[in-house]
Chain A
Amino acid sequence: MTQKAETSRKVRPRADVLESDNEYRIALDLVGVDREKIGLTLEQETLKVTAQRGTTPGELVEFEREFGVPSAIDRDKVTADYARGVLTVTLPKQANSKPRRIAVSLA
């Protein structure tokens, strides 16, 4: 059953950003979105997230959010997972940017 959207609303989803020694993790509240229509683009140092929700009849909600990301991430290993209405984007750090523990040798 298709229904023409009567109104369209842009929403900036709430997000948490976490960091560990190995990665950055961004979590966004995106309730009830069509996972086929989640868009993730990483251009230069900007991660853009877009999504759509049409669950409430007559209303289309468009989510959009941009994040500045550090250059020292492993761009080819960025992953995303959508579960329970939360989109989690994982941005691994480049191996050489991780903190290293240097053993002090005893002379």
Chain B
Amino acid sequence: MVHFVTTNDRGFPGTTGVSGLFSEMERLLREHDAAASEVAGARPRIFARYGATGYELDVELPGVQQDEIQLDVRRGVLTISGERKLDVPEGFRSIRRERAPFRFSRSVQLPEDVASDAVQASMRDGLLTIRLPKSATSEPKRIQIASH
């Protein structure tokens, strides 16, 4: 499930006039989801936001260690993969089990205006936040007309 939320938080100004780009990324997220390999029907939820300086993705990964997650950008495609292991510790037995271990891989086609070499990620309280800043070159540039 992909949730898109417009936001004014985190220094992102308004989002009017970007609905086209927004739905484009949403569509691409959906397409790639279909091909993602997952087990036991467990899949981390991803929330995406768009602001003036770029995109942000939040991935819910409770109980996942930082070193159990891989992030790769290749040819404009961001791939998030990882695993949640839920081993029953020695000496314990399971009385109730609702949380599922999972292995996942999700790919996102990055919009053209994302600076793929500037992608940043951080992990806090089971939430992986990926920042996809817009590249400076995507800013509109006025071309001077040379006079002869």
Question: Which residues does A use to contact B, with CB under 8 Å?
Answer: 1, 3, 14-21, 24-25, 27, 29-33, 35, 55-59, 82, 84-86
Contact = CB atoms under 8 A, between A and B. Distances in A.
17 contacts: A14-B98, A15-B96, A17-B96, A18-B94, A20-B92, A29-B99, A30-B126, A35-B125, A55-B127, A56-B5, A57-B7, A84-B62, A84-B64, A84-B126, A85-B60, A86-B63, A86-B126
B9 A15 contact: no
B65 interface: yes
Contacts of B5: 56-59
Contacts of A56: 3, 5, 47, 58
Nearest to B3: A56
Please classify the interface of chain B as helix (H, G, I), strand (E, B), loop, or mixed, using the class held by over half of its residues: loop
Contacts of B88: 18
Nearest to B94: A18
A99 to B, nearest CB: 12
Contacts of B62: 29-31, 84-86
Contacts of A16: 86, 94, 96-99
Contact of B126 (A1, A17, A59, A85): A85
A26 B30 CA distance: 34
A16 B93 CA distance: 11
Contacts of A29: 62-63, 99, 126
A58 B97 CA distance: 32
Interface in B61-113: 61-65, 86, 88-89, 91-99
